[in-house]
Structure 1
Amino acid sequence: MELSRYLARYSLNLQYEDLPEEVVSFTKLCILDYFGSAIAGSDKKPVQIISNLVKDMGGFEQAKLFTGGKSSVLNAALVNGSASHMMELDDIHKGSIIHAATVVIPAALAIAEWRQLSGKELITAVVVGYEVCFRIGEAVSPSHYYYWHNTATCGTFGAAAATGKLLGLTEDQAVDALGNAGSQAAGLWEFIVDGAMTKQLHTAKASMNGTMAALLAQKSFTGPKKILEGNRGFFNAMSEEHDVSRITENLGQEFKILENSFKVHASCRHTHHAIDLLIDIFKEHQPVLEEIESVEVNSYQVALTITDDADPQTEYAAKFSLQFCSALALLKGRASLEDFGEEELWDKDIRALMEKVNVHVDPAIDESYPRKWGATVTVLLKNGEKIYKQTDFPKGDPENAVTTKELLEKFIGMATIMPLQQRQALAESLMNLESIENISDLMKTL
């Protein structure tokens, strides 16, 4: 059987009643976290540019835009997929290196609102979307990740699977949807060199393209049946090595959404291990710049490939600078949304400490990636004291989990463009999503 058919059959057969309570509760947290990120990112410049383009082009008012107003389902997936990736606080899965919420949930939301589907149907579709994109991401990671942004490429499959589920595709149609999703999978890392806005376009198009693939399949538009394993398919074209077994291993016997991680710092996830450790050192010692001789950060190669930037020139670039994030965490004891502004970017003490931050690859840590996203830090003080910390799992990983209370507080803190009472009401609705009969009623609260 083709791998796409395995995934399609699983996706279409899964029912809400098959989901354990733990999965339902966790999925609602993923959706809550998505809403917080999307609301927080909705008024930022890259998102507004995409939104303004959509409004210029027009579209039937089928689904709500987080930037205001309504547009077509495809346009809603595009805009809302960009908004939720803007703040670098959206969820992440270690094994596949995918931010699933920002591509799967806006696609599923747009279809669910348009078709006036229920909260239970939305929850089931999100579980399906996460499962599909995580498995494909695991199959090609980590080699795929060097050139390709997994969230954009593998996420396209997840968006297609989730929307195909909501559209009630046949098995053959779902295979076609995955085939055409794979043919649209794209997203190169080159944008990171100059801090371009492209990262938001990655998630926007992944969400939109996956949705388009499912809608086309519903109209009998065919796609390649072996888009994953075919000779000129996704695996061979876009990864140096891949593990086909990851697609079917325990499929239907486990729920990969439970492996998902939540972010508590407003920067690239590959900086979070060091941030966690250096915040701990700040709390315990509160060292000042004049006392610090050097800071050594050891991690895995991908962390350095993405975040080794000793001189970030923009606020966004600072989120992808391990040196900046390390200095910020050690001097300020935090790395929140408010800590990545112009003032912090050019703070003299942070800049001075960045010159003392040295980053290296540790072979043992690198070997365990992506199962573990670990790091060690050593802060050497001028009095000769060495402070050492180590972690395998940044805060927010299942092995170092955040609580429901912490995620609710994160949502309230991110959705500040809404009045507090409205934020609290929306959070309550999302935490009781299974009781909502019509998703369009939920979206009216935005």
Structure 2
Amino acid sequence: MTVSETLARFLTTATAPEGVLHEAKRLLLNQLKASVGAKEHPAVRLLHDWATEHGGTGASVHWYGTPTTPQAAAMVNGALYEVLDFHDTYIPCFMHAVSAVLPAVLALAEARGASGRDLLIALALGVEAELAVATILMPTGYCRGGVPAGLTGGVGAAAACCVLAGLDEARTTHALGIAMCTAFGLYASVGSMTLSYITGATARSGLSAFELAERGFTAPATAFEGDRGMFQALCDEDAAKIAPALATLGHEWRLFGQTYKVVPTETITHGPVECVLAVRPRAAGRTVDRMTFKVNPLVQSIADERRDRFGAPSSESEATFDLRHCAAAAWLRGRFTTAETTADCYTDPAVLALRDRIDLIADDARATFEGCSLEVAFTDGSTEARNVDHFLGTPGARVPDATLGQLFRDYAGALPPGRADAIIDTVWALDTVPGIRTLTHLLRIDA
């Protein structure tokens, strides 16, 4: 069997245990938390106006409440999930696995009146298929310059939509092949509006792959492993990885390895921000001379490359992806929220001055970027230190359900009174909800 056929067999025969469905609820709520504060982001507004200008029906855009086509809804909701970088991360593959899958399958579920339970099953299986493909392609797919979720998100989105619609194995194989042949997304987009576009467009592409396959459109069965197929074109991995990665499907659920962000910035910054906020109360009025972080070598490489490319941040997106800015802002403001990525903060002379006194040292003992250490040297010669092996939100420091709910409330201030709690309650009960529109009707600020 080819890779597409193997994935299709899994998608058409697998069952999702109750624990997996609960994790799917957590992942869904996490995406709502990531997007509820993003409605006014300029990238989202531009994409919303462009994608919905011709109207349409069947699905809706989160928080705007705009009725539109499933394709447009998938596009804009994908961008909403991405733009604040407050979503999930699957650290082993450097990717945000849910951000392209959920908007596609949720738009389809809304259009077709699917149940909450059917949505959860489709989401879980689609994410598993996507992560299996990503496990094979990474890390060299990323090192070559790809956005990991851009490369694989269409596969996950197509997979989830096939499950929701009950497509047979043959048509599911074609949907996956279409998505594999149309994978895209360059890492150069990081720090710009284009990254949120890639996520939205990837969700739309996966939905299109499903819709075409449902109508009988075909794709090469060897779209993944064939000559100049996805594997050969997008990575430099050993083909011996393929069989073991697929063999675990349905036995070892990768979605339990997801990291949930508790502050709105990219994953490599979470350990440093957590260290800063832990040390700061001990400063007792002392002035910082320098901060020194020991981090995974890849973190140092990424942060230094961005410093050289961006200089000082000049936009919200650049501030979000600037580790030194995030650490300096967290120290001086005692928190890290979306307010710390605005111009008021990233142009603050005090933040800029402290940013320039932050050093990153590559620590080969750090196998991943789940942790780091910090030493703060003060002008009086004293020091304070902190080490984090697993920052809050990683599988090693799991975020409780109640905390996920509270994070959503924290960023949902624009919602009408009581709406945040209604959304949270609906998500936790989603497996008993007969129609997904019960949830999507709540996802609007003005009603």
For the aligned pair, the TM-score class normalised by the smaller chain equals over 0.9
Once the two structures are TM-superposed, the CA of residue 246 in structure 1 deviates from its matched residue by 4.8
Q: Secondary structure at the match of 1:41?
A: coil
Check whether the contact 1:271–1:307 (CA below 8 A) recurs between aligned residues. Answer: no
* Deviation sequence 1:378-436 (CA, Å, 0-9, x none): 21223333333222322100101111111101111222221131111111111110111
Contact 1:282 1:332 in 2 (8 A): no
- Equivalence for 1:284: 282
Aligned residue for 1:62? 58
Cα distance 1:46–1:14, how it changes in 2: closer, same or farther (>3 A)?
A: same
1:200-349 residue pairs with structure 2 within 5 A? 200-242=196-238, 243-286=241-284, 288=286, 291-308=287-304, 309=307, 311-349=312-350
Please give the alpha-carbon distance, in whole angstroms, between the structure 1 residues aligned to 2:31 and 2:260. 10
CA contact (8 A) 2:84 2:320 kept: no
**Alignment RMSD (CA, Å):** 1.7
* Deviation sequence 1:28-86 (CA, Å, 0-9, x none): 11111112223322332111111111222333x01111233211111111111111111
Match of 2:6 in 1: 6
Partner residue of 1:151?
Answer: 149
Say if 2:55 and 2:67, in contact at 8 Å, map to a contact too: no
Report how far residue 27 of structure 1 moved: 1.4
> Paired residue for 1:130?
127
Q: Distance in 2 between matches of 1:213 and 1:306?
A: 33
CA distance in 2, matches of 1:355, 1:220: 57
CA distance in 1 between partners of 2:414 and 2:323 (Å): 29
Q: Which residue of 1 aligns with 2:410?
A: 413
Q: How does 1:113-124 map to 2 (within 5 A)?
A: 113-124=110-121
Matched with 2:192 is 196
CA-to-aligned-CA distance 1:302-331 (integer Å, 9 cap, x gap): 323433326222222111111111212223
Whether the 8 Å contact between 1:138 and 1:246 is mirrored in structure 2 is: no
> In the alignment, residue 326 of structure 1 is paired with which amino acid?
A
| 2:132–2:249 CA contact under 8 A, matched in 1 | no
2:352 and 2:117 map into 1 onto residues whose CA distance is 49
The 2-side partners of 1:284 and 1:349 are apart by 20
What is the CA-CA distance between 1:121 and the residue it aligns to?
0.3
Q: Which residue of 1 aligns with 2:77?
A: 80
8 Å contact from structure 1 (residues 295, 356) kept in 2:
yes
Secondary structure at the counterpart of residue 423 of structure 2? helix
Q: Would you say 1:50 and 2:51 are equivalent positions? A: no
The 8 Å contact of residues 274 and 391 in structure 2, kept in 1 or not, is answered as yes
Q: Is the 8 A contact 1:98 1:155 kept in 2?
A: no
The answer to whether the 8 Å contact 1:263/1:396 transfers is yes
- Deviation track 1:105-137 (CA, whole Å, cap 9, x = no partner) reads 111111111111111100001101111111211
Write the distance in 1 (CA, Å) between the matches of 2:383 and 2:247.
45
CA–CA distance in 2 between the matches of 1:293 and 1:445?
49
Distance 1:130 1:380, change over 3 A: same
In the aligned structure 1, how far is the partner of 2:361 from the partner of 2:154?
A: 33
1:436 aligns with 2:433: yes
Aligned residue type for 1:323: R
Aligned match of 1:361: 362
SS in 1 for 2:150: helix
Task: Name the CA shift for 1:70/1:177 in 2 (closer, same or farther; >3 Å).
Answer: same
Segments of 5+ residues of structure 1 without an aligned counterpart are: none
SS in 1 for 2:260: coil
2:88 is aligned to 91
What's the TM-score, normalizing by structure 1?
0.93
CA distance in 2, matches of 1:360, 1:225: 46
Instruction: Give the Cα separation in 2 of the matches to 1:105 and 1:373.
Output: 25
Secondary structure of the structure 1 residue equivalent to 2:360:
strand
- Letter of the 1:92 partner, please give it: T
Does structure 2 retain, via aligned residues, the 8 Å contact 1:177–1:223? yes
Aligned length: 434
Cα distance in 2 for residues equivalent to 1:167 and 1:247: 26
Identity %: 26
CA distance 1:229–1:374, shift in 2 (3 Å): farther
Does the CA contact (< 8 Å) of 2:192 and 2:318 recur in 1?
A: no
